[in-house]
Amino acid sequence: DAGVIQSPRHEVTEMGQEVTLRCKPISGHNSLFWYRQTMMRGLELLIYFNNNVPIDDSGMPEDRFSAKMPNASFSTLKIQPSEPRDSAVYFCASKAAGGQETQYFGPGTRLLVL
C-alpha cells in the first residue's frame, strides 16, 4: 500500500493568499485526521472525519481554516487568507474502522507563509 499521501510536500506563499493542502488516505480507512505541528504548540488535532463526515472540528483555529472530505479517498484543508502564524507542518492521518486501530500518518506538508 502507498500509505497516506499528502501534497504538496512544501508550500511557500505570501500572506493573504489561499492555501490548499491535500490528502489521500489509505484505501479502506474510514477515519481521517488533520494535525498541525509547530515548535510552540507541538502536535495538535485540527479536525477529524469519520465516513467522510466531520466529527470534531474543535481544533480548527478560526474561520480562515476549513476542511472537506468529498469522498473516501480525498480530503482538503484550506486556509484563506493565510497568515505568517499559519506556518507549520500539517499532517494528515488515516485509520481503519475499529477503536483499536492505528492512525497512520502521511509525510506532512511544510507550509511557510511570508
Partner 1 sequence: AQSVTQPDIHITVSEGASLELRCNYSYGATPYLFWYVQSPGQGLQLLLKYFSGDTLVQGIKGFEAEFKRSQSSFNLRKPSVHWSDAAEYFCAVGAVKAAGNKLTFGGGTRVLVKP
User: Of the two residues 65 and 90, which places its CB atom closer to partner 1 in the complex?
Assistant: 90
Is 90 a binding residue for partner 1 by CB under 8 A? The answer is no
E-state strands within the chain: 5-7, 10-13, 19-24, 31-38, 42-50, 53-56, 65-71, 74-79, 88-95, 104-105, 109-113
Q: How far is 4 from 37, CA to CA, in rounded Å?
A: 17
Over the window 8 to 47, marking each residue x when it contacts partner 1 by CB under 8 A and - when it does not, the resulting string is -----------------------x-x--------xxxx--
Is 56 a binding residue for partner 1 by CB under 8 A? The answer is yes
Is 83 a binding residue for partner 1 by CB under 8 A? The answer is no
Least distance to partner 1, CB of residue 67, Å: 14
Q: Which residue has the cell 487568507?
A: 81
Is 76 a binding residue for partner 1 by CB under 8 A? The answer is no
Cis peptide leading into residue 81 (ω within 30°): yes
Is 107 a binding residue for partner 1 by CB under 8 A? The answer is yes
